[in-house]
Chains A and B, each alone.
Chain A
Amino acid sequence: MIFLKEILLGNAAIALGAVTAGVKVVSGYPGTPSTEVLESVAQYNRDGKIKVEWSVNEKAALEIAAGASYCGARSMVTMKQVGLNVASDPLMSLGVIGTKGGMVVVVADDPGPISSQTEQDTRHFGKYANIPVLDPSSPEEAYEMAKYAFELSERINLPVILRPTTKVCHSSGTIEVDESRFEDETEGFVKDSKWVIFPPLSYRRHLEIEKQQGEIADIFDRLSFNRIEGDGKYGIAAGGVTYAIVKDIIDTYNLNVILLKSGAVFPAPAKLYHEFLLRVEKVLVLEELDPVIEEQLYHVLAVNNFHKPIFGKLNGFVTPAGELKFDNTLKIIEKFMGVRLGNVEESIGTEGIELPLRSPVLCAGCPHRASFYAVKKAMKGKKIVSCGDIGCYTLGNAKPLEMTDTCLCMGAGITIAQGIKKAEPDTNAFAFIGDSTFFASGMTGLANAVYNNTDINVIVLDNLTTAMTGQQPHPGTGKTMMNTSSPKIDIASVAKALNVGFVEKVNPFDHKKAVKVVQEAAAYQGVSVVIFEAPCVTLFKSEEVCRIENCIGCKKCINEIGCPALYVKEGKVAIDDTLCNGCGLCKNVCPTGSIK
């Protein structure tokens, strides 16, 4: 064994853990904060022995990993928490059918939320589907848990959920990398009626799986990911990265508390919880998202018929939403212990200074800005609802474009627009969807619109990549994660095959033509699809920059398109040439032709 010390992002640590454990098939769909897990596997896959793919969506990805597991191969699937909603259909059934080769379902949760629609807690999905959940507190532990998850899965013949949160995924730790690799031969698919889900089988399996939960809990009682540390009369129970924060607080202030660490969190290590509860006078539960450990502790109290005061989210002691950081966690611990520890109030404040807002924006030169502007110009003075979707283009909601009126979940723009059109027939219902999202979940919605004769206008923002999550390839790019090429799927051809009556492709930077095409699409009775095709600015290097001369200071360019490269200097507009990439959209806005 060779050990190398590396600084690894939590996501890379999970990838390396899986590679060390001999994973053979890895599938996933990009989503912050999970994306780098699969990308890192692809980087470590120098000999190409691991089959790595970005699947079209999470449901497809989970089924691919399941198929590989049926053959006895170790497999892993990666996604963000809302992706598991999409993959919940196969997950629920897989919890009944079970697996053969070790199968790990990596689902990244996002307390805050920082880059997500919801603050949902994947630990509930484990309970819902009777699938064990491991919850790492650091990149180092994520690495160990990733390796262990495959072993556990093979021991119990069930998939295992590895559920890191953003502060584990996107923090890095010092990992001692084990260069050895677990190797075994894949047996291959063995025909057996156990792989075919039927009601009588589901009934039998349900009995077995419920019995198995107790056996897994017994394993978790003895697992080092779960443990009791320290001494004192008060108890703190913590899971995930919150455990690490609590440890820092205990170390910083030399606190005497009994700390319960819950890492293998479902099924609950009930005997360990019982032992912890017997030793403490009262308990504070610190965990991000939902009160899962807290409810488990109440359950142990109820089953064992005794009482200890528990302080947490359920009695309003801990905030139900958002992140637990060092400073708010410290305040909660101070309140719980009735002591004053920190002096956060004495730190250098920012009250004495006015700070401008700096929200995320579409990049300078982003083709989405040109697309939104073209639709805005084309539909000026008309009644329009713009249904957005998930991707960089959700940022089209910001001033001054304000071209995103709704955003719900992946693929919902096309179908929400149909609902709006049905309820309010005199509005122009527009749906904006990115290329990767179109393949993930836009096609079924489009088929629905054609089938039900709904007059909507679909704008596909095709920037030739999955941009928001960091430029992943998709079926329209013809590139794969195995460094091979595949036949590109053409979105216009897909729309035509679905019998969409109006299909046009146009470069959004060809402003006049773009406006004209949108007007034609809006006038068309029936489903129209306009594909705005132009590459994401991160895909190429532009040497060009826009120049501004004789600006009259009307600021129409800034007020209409809000490009981050445009700013005001001494009453006139200036261009930041470190940001500008010369897309030229502002030239179409300037009333005096001052931008070259």
Chain B
Amino acid sequence: MDILIAGVGGQGTILASKILAYAAVIEGRKARTGETIGMSQRGGCVVSHVRTGGSHSPYIPVGGADLLLSFEPCEGARNIAYLKKGGKAAINTASITPVSTALGLSAYDGDKMMKYIAENSKAVFIDANKLAKESGSIKAVNSVLIGAAFGLGVLDLSEESLRQSMKKNIKPSFLDLNMRAFHSGVKEVEEMRTKC
């Protein structure tokens, strides 16, 4: 399974990828991730690739991802080419306006971008920032989105493996709030699915 995680530097995409990859290892499989670390981390575009299917290279080909998790609408749209046709996506609706937009150098139309994602994938849109804050910290957006992915029923990972992986990769003092964030993501998506 190939998962592409997109976001803005500083949002915590790397931890999300590690949690997913390690959950696969717990289930006895081999996993790889490919990260963006360095200059782009300063508020630039970041992506993490997670591959659990025994690939040799860490980077997902264009049109190869089974799932797109995006921490931000524009970054979801920017990376949609990685998604398989008809692939699933979980998108955080909370936008981060780039400085280029504030300066009037490029336009940012979040609604248009989300519409484009919706037209080209099976996507759910959730306000992960709000759910993370309600769980105790804005930093838990990654756990909300992992929850959303699980709620979508697309992950080939059990809830128990994810829980164990979160326990291993998150500092004990932040674990409870991240577990709450995870469950809020699961619940949000499951409620959306029943409504549909």
Would you give the shortest CB distance from B77 to chain A, in whole angstroms?
Answer: 6
Q: Does A257 contact B (CB under 8 A)?
A: no
Q: Does A171 contact B (CB under 8 A)?
A: yes
Chain A residues within an 8 Å CB radius of B101: 356, 567-568
Q: Does A265 contact B (CB under 8 A)?
A: no
Would you give the shortest CB distance from A400 to chain B, in whole angstroms?
Answer: 6
Decide: B57 and A244 in contact? CB cutoff 8 A: yes
A359 to B100, alpha carbons, bound, how many Å? 8
Q: Does B112 contact A (CB under 8 A)?
A: yes
B8, B30, B112 — most chain A CB neighbours (10 Å): B30
Q: Does A576 contact B (CB under 8 A)?
A: yes
Q: Does B195 contact A (CB under 8 A)?
A: no
Interface residues on B, range: 35 or more
Chain B residues within an 8 Å CB radius of A576: 96-97
B18, B55, B75 — most chain A CB neighbours (10 Å): B55
Decide: B105 and A171 in contact? CB cutoff 8 A: no
Chain A residues within an 8 Å CB radius of B193: none
Would you give the shortest CB distance from B196 to chain A, in whole angstroms?
Answer: 22
Residue of A nearest to B83 (CB): A348
The interface bits of chain B over 32-52 (1 if a CB of A lies within 8 angstroms of the residue's CB, else 0) are 111111111111110001000
Chain A residues within an 8 Å CB radius of B59: 167, 171, 245, 325-326
A247 to B29, alpha carbons, bound, how many Å? 19
A399 to B107, alpha carbons, bound, how many Å? 16
A358 to B97, alpha carbons, bound, how many Å? 9
Decide: A170 and B39 in contact? CB cutoff 8 A: no
Contacts known (A114-B40, A347-B81); A562 close to B57, Cβ less than 8 A: no
Chain B residues within an 8 Å CB radius of A568: 97, 101-102
CB contact between A174 and one of B32, B39, B64, B109 (< 8 Å): that residue: B32
Chain A residues within an 8 Å CB radius of B37: 32-33, 36, 170
Chain A residues within an 8 Å CB radius of B45: 358
Decide: A172 and B21 in contact? CB cutoff 8 A: yes
Would you give the shortest CB distance from A385 to chain B, in whole angstroms?
Answer: 24
Interface-located stretch among B113-121, B142-150, B151-159, B174-182: B113-121
A563 to B43, alpha carbons, bound, how many Å? 11
Residue of B nearest to A115 (CB): B38
CB contact between B57 and one of A245, A347, A354, A362 (< 8 Å): that residue: A245
Would you give the shortest CB distance from B43 to chain A, in whole angstroms?
Answer: 4
Size of the A side of the interface (Cβ < 8 Å), in residues, is: 67
A173 to B35, alpha carbons, bound, how many Å? 12
Q: Does A346 contact B (CB under 8 A)?
A: yes
Chain A residues within an 8 Å CB radius of B120: 348
A568 to B18, alpha carbons, bound, how many Å? 35
A291 to B9, alpha carbons, bound, how many Å? 33
Q: Does A559 contact B (CB under 8 A)?
A: yes
Decide: A358 and B100 in contact? CB cutoff 8 A: yes
Q: Does A433 contact B (CB under 8 A)?
A: no
Chain A residues within an 8 Å CB radius of B108: 356
The interface bits of chain A over 162-176 (1 if a CB of B lies within 8 angstroms of the residue's CB, else 0) are 000011001111100
Contacts known (A114-B40, A172-B58, A247-B57); A356 close to B32, Cβ less than 8 A: no
Q: Does A564 contact B (CB under 8 A)?
A: yes
Decide: B42 and A361 in contact? CB cutoff 8 A: yes
Q: Does A349 contact B (CB under 8 A)?
A: yes
Q: Does A343 contact B (CB under 8 A)?
A: yes
Decide: A343 and B107 in contact? CB cutoff 8 A: no
Residue of A nearest to B129 (CB): A578
Contacts known (A171-B34, A347-B85); A468 close to B39, Cβ less than 8 A: yes
Q: Does B189 contact A (CB under 8 A)?
A: no
Chain B residues within an 8 Å CB radius of A510: none
Q: Does A520 contact B (CB under 8 A)?
A: no
Contacts known (A247-B57, A326-B62, A356-B74); A172 close to B102, Cβ less than 8 A: no
Residue of B nearest to A562 (CB): B99
Chain B residues within an 8 Å CB radius of A342: 61
Decide: B57 and A241 in contact? CB cutoff 8 A: yes
Would you give the shortest CB distance from A35 to chain B, in whole angstroms?
Answer: 9
Decide: A167 and B58 in contact? CB cutoff 8 A: yes
CB contact between B25 and one of A166, A174, A356, A399 (< 8 Å): that residue: A174
A9 to B60, alpha carbons, bound, how many Å? 17
Chain A residues within an 8 Å CB radius of B136: none
Chain B residues within an 8 Å CB radius of A251: 56
A346 to B49, alpha carbons, bound, how many Å? 21
Decide: A346 and B43 in contact? CB cutoff 8 A: no
Decide: A245 and B56 in contact? CB cutoff 8 A: yes
A330 to B64, alpha carbons, bound, how many Å? 14
A243, A251, A353 — most chain B CB neighbours (10 Å): A353
Residue of A nearest to B79 (CB): A350
Decide: A7 and B33 in contact? CB cutoff 8 A: yes
Q: Does B80 contact A (CB under 8 A)?
A: yes
The interface bits of chain A over 395-419 (1 if a CB of B lies within 8 angstroms of the residue's CB, else 0) are 1001110000000000000000000
A330 to B62, alpha carbons, bound, how many Å? 11
Chain A residues within an 8 Å CB radius of B63: 343-344, 346-348
Residue of A nearest to B58 (CB): A171
Q: Does A355 contact B (CB under 8 A)?
A: yes
Q: Does A363 contact B (CB under 8 A)?
A: yes
Would you give the shortest CB distance from B153 to chain A, in whole angstroms?
Answer: 21
Q: Does A558 contact B (CB under 8 A)?
A: yes
A400 to B100, alpha carbons, bound, how many Å? 9
Q: Does B186 contact A (CB under 8 A)?
A: no
A6, A7, A36 — most chain B CB neighbours (10 Å): A7
Chain A residues within an 8 Å CB radius of B62: 326-327, 344, 347
Chain A residues within an 8 Å CB radius of B36: 170
Decide: A354 and B107 in contact? CB cutoff 8 A: yes
Q: Does A226 contact B (CB under 8 A)?
A: no
Q: Does B138 contact A (CB under 8 A)?
A: yes
CB contact between A172 and one of B32, B38, B42, B57 (< 8 Å): that residue: B32
Would you give the shortest CB distance from B160 to chain A, in whole angstroms?
Answer: 17
Q: Does B98 contact A (CB under 8 A)?
A: yes
- Interchain Cβ contacts under 8 Å between A and B, 30 examples: A7-B21, A7-B22, A114-B38, A114-B39, A115-B38, A138-B56, A170-B37, A171-B58, A172-B21, A173-B30, A243-B56, A247-B56, A251-B56, A326-B64, A347-B82, A348-B81, A349-B81, A354-B106, A354-B109, A355-B74, A356-B74, A356-B98, A357-B105, A359-B44, A360-B41, A392-B42, A399-B103, A562-B103, A567-B102, A568-B101
Known: A138-B58, A359-B98. 17 other contacts (CB 8 A): A7-B18, A36-B37, A170-B34, A172-B21, A172-B58, A174-B30, A174-B32, A248-B56, A348-B85, A349-B81, A354-B112, A355-B113, A358-B75, A359-B44, A362-B42, A559-B103, A562-B103
5 cross-chain pairs, A with B, having the tightest CB-CB distances, nearest first: A347-B63, A115-B38, A171-B58, A360-B44, A32-B38
